[in-house]
Amino acid sequence: MKLLSNGDKNAKLAKSNRLSNYTTYGLSLAPAMESGYQTCSSSSVQCRLACIYKSGNGSFPNVVKGRTRKTVLLFEDREEFNRQLRVDLQAAERKAKREKKRVAVRPNMYSDLFWESVAPWIFKEFPDIQWYDYTKHFNRMLKFCRGGLPENYHLTFSRSETNEREVVKVLMAGGNVSVVFERVSKKIKTVPRTWHGFKVVNGDKTDLRFLEGRKGVDFGSVIGLHAKGSAQQMHDGFVVNSQQAMQPLLSSM
């Protein structure tokens, strides 16, 4: 059973592959308690409702079963999981070398695990791979902002309906934060230029968050993402109203 999926099989990662010299791979585990094991301990209610885990290829039962099997393997047979992950990573590096590309791996496609604790060896054994993830773990994100995580591991903090105060602290610490904005219309796919005074970068162009850098000049940047799947019908805090994005945030905190 392969653990890593080539980015060409994921719409957003495939776009990253086309627009950069990176070949991307993702590790798709089952989120939250879908597998019987907790993989998203800092997720909010609306985050779980908006999860695109079962969208696209995830709508097929065999894909869901495969992601669940990978998750169970991680928790019940760590030695075998690590063995297969090492095999997949070695194959990815060989392929990238042939194609004269670099490798980028997102180990938390739908999960939010502490890979620096779960499998710290991956960063040491594969120093030339660029690792990156989104996370809702606040203290973990601050640790990243302070340089406390492996040098080749980049994190972006994810805003939800429950962590706005933490979002401000991350931005002021120099970290980037992803924010889900509602679509003004099906045709208009732009994001606001600023969100509460912070610069917004269009995060739907590629998934390569590490290209925005570890820190901004003064503060971090907001990574603007459009609502997708069930999130398009959510209006209770998880998805941000684009028309209200200009209102100052710090003055209300």
- DSSP-derived letter for residue 163 is -
Residue extents of the structural domains in the chain: 4-252
Q: What is the model's pLDDT at position 116? A: 98
Q: What is the model's pLDDT at position 232? A: 55
What pLDDT digit, counting tens, does each position of 198-246 carry?
Answer: 889 899 888 999 987 554 445 788 999 887 765 555 556 788 876 665 5
Q: What is the model's pLDDT at position 89? A: 98
Q: Which long-range contacts (CB under 8 A, 24 or more apart) does 80-85 make?
A: 81/3, 82/119, 82/121, 84/1, 84/2, 84/3, 85/3, 85/4, 85/27, 85/119, 85/122
State the Cα–Cα distance between residues 108 and 119, nearest whole angstrom.
13
Distances (CA, A) of 252 to 104, 179, 198, 228, 248: 38, 18, 15, 28, 7
φ, ψ for residue 74, nearest 5 deg: -60, -45
User: Would you call 27 helix, strand, or coil by DSSP?
Assistant: strand
User: Which token pair is 100?
Assistant: 């004269």
Instruction: Please indicate, yes or no, whether the overall pTM of this predicted structure exceeds 0.85.
Output: yes
Strands 22-27 and 4-6: antiparallel
In DSSP notation, 55-104 reads SGGGGSHHHHHHHHHHHHHHHH-HHHHHHHHHHHHHHHHHHHHHHT-EEE
What pairs with residue 49 in β-bridges?
none
All residue ranges of the chain with pLDDT < 50 are 215-217, 251-253
Q: What is the model's pLDDT at position 249? A: 55
State the Cα–Cα distance between residues 244 and 192, nearest whole angstrom.
10
Alpha helices in the chain (DSSP H): 11-19, 45-50, 61-76, 78-99, 115-118, 121-125, 138-145, 164-172
Q: What is the model's pLDDT at position 193? A: 86
State the Cα–Cα distance between residues 1 and 87, nearest whole angstrom.
11
State the Cα–Cα distance between residues 249 and 220, nearest whole angstrom.
14
State the Cα–Cα distance between residues 223 and 203, nearest whole angstrom.
5
Handedness of CA 134, 139, 145, 151 (dihedral sign): negative
